Amino acid sequence: MADHHHHHHEPTGTRLADAARVTLEAQSEQWTPMRAAIFDALAAEEKPASAYDIADTVSKARGKRVAPNSVYRILDLFVTNNIAMRVESANAYIANAHPGCHHDCIFLVCRTCKQATHLDDDKVTNQVRAVAEQEGFRPERPVIEILGTCAKCAA
């Protein structure tokens, strides 16, 4: 089983923001102060955060209102460029702990504490892609989310 799991050394703090900036700039996108602030706020969250959560955090830090619509646009840019991931069932986002690394993700989403654990398992996601392709479907980004109760909440 270990042969198909993908493990990363996961940067945090400034190193994570630097990795995100490099990844975004490699796609010919600018790393603006607003984008940096939104990424920093997202990366500081322990649970998936909504655009409204991020807008509130950045608004408080900047001392002026940041519109959620602006945050949504930037989060969409982050997802497109693989520096953030969207947890569909929570309508929320998490910072990609390994920007620039492309894998289909599996999320374990706890209904109790709202924590989302991100896993990479290429064997499982490749099987999902293969099943879709057998049906004549061209998958772009499989989203696999397993809703349940995490070990901490179950204890």
Q: 43-100, pLDDT tens digit by residue?
A: 999 899 999 999 999 999 999 999 999 999 999 999 999 899 999 888 999 998 888 7
Q: Taking a C-beta distance cutoff of 8 angstroms, is the pair 11, 22 a contact?
A: no
What are the distances in angstroms from CA 63 to CA 49, 59, 72, 75?
Answer: 20, 6, 20, 21
Backbone angles phi, psi at 93, to 5 degrees: -130, 155
Instruction: For CATH 3.30.1490.190, list the domain ranges present in the chain.
Output: 105-154
Topology of the domain comprising 105-154: Dna Ligase; domain 1 (3.30.1490)
| Contacts for 8 with CB less than 8 Å, ≥ 6 apart | 97, 98, 101, 120
For residue 86, the one-letter residue type is R
Topology of the domain comprising 2-95: Arc Repressor Mutant, subunit A (1.10.10)
- Enter the pTM of the model: 0.81
Interval 99-122: pLDDT, tens:
877 778 888 999 999 888 888 888
